[in-house]
Amino acid sequence: MSSLTGTYDCKVDAKGRLMMPVVIKKQLSSVLEEGFVLRRSVFQKCLELYPMAEWQILMGKMNKLNKFKKKNNDFIRRFTAGAKMVEVDVNGRLLIPKDLTVFANISKNIVVASAINIIEIWDKDLYEEVINDTAVDFADLAEEVMGQDEEDYGIS
């Protein structure tokens, strides 16, 4: 799986189940059986859904941290706090655990958005606030993040 594409409006039922959009399920079809890890985002009030292979790559990087440094242990503990292994059932539904629903203020209407190799799950109103935040000039942000010359990326 190289990257995911798409943003979809969805609903969560009374039991906290999300019906995964068909397009996302198709993109994840090769990894559906492996399961996923659902966790709190570091920077936003949303959830991040990691395919198991992506989670293992991330955990491999974190496992290289020196655990005899307090800041590393604190980071690992906070990063993995609330992380849950989840599966998409045979009907294409994903159960969002209650504590994660509370963290992300998820109600009935949500947005499922691709973020390169993971899926973000947002309360629809919060997502719209973040995307439409006029304090962030997206053109300036795009230039700062992506406007580097080719040699800055190591491309010849």
Average pLDDT, the chain: 90
Residue 80 resides in a domain? yes
Predicted TM-score (pTM) above 0.85: yes
DSSP 12: B
What pLDDT is stored for residue 101 in this prediction?
Answer: 95
CA distance 133 to 131: 6
pLDDT in tens, 42-60: 999 999 999 999 999 999 9
Residue among 61, 34, 58, 33 nearest 48 (CA): 58
pLDDT in tens, 94-135: 999 999 999 999 989 999 999 999 999 999 999 999 988 877
pLDDT in tens, 8-47: 999 999 999 999 999 998 888 888 889 999 999 999 999 9
Residue 111 resides in a domain? yes
Residue 56 resides in a domain? yes
CA distance 68 to 50: 27
Residue 148 resides in a domain? no
What pLDDT is stored for residue 71 in this prediction?
Answer: 95
CA quadruple 100, 101, 104, 105: dihedral sign? negative
Residue 131 resides in a domain? no
Mean pLDDT of 75-87: 94
What pLDDT is stored for residue 149 in this prediction?
Answer: 67
Residue 132 resides in a domain? no
CA distance 114 to 1: 13
Given the DSSP bridges, would you call strands 109-115 and 93-95 parallel, antiparallel or unpaired?
A: unpaired
Q: What is the DSSP track for 116-149?
A: TTEEEEEEHHHHHHHHT-TTS-HHHHHHHHH---
Q: What is the DSSP track for 77-97?
A: HHHHTT-EEE-B-TTSEEEPP
Query: What's 63's domain CATH number?
Result: 3.40.1550.20
Residue 53 resides in a domain? yes
Contacts with 25 (C-beta within 8 Å, 6 or more apart), sequence order: 32, 88, 92
Number of domains in the chain: 1
> 24: domain range?
7-124
Residue 54 resides in a domain? yes
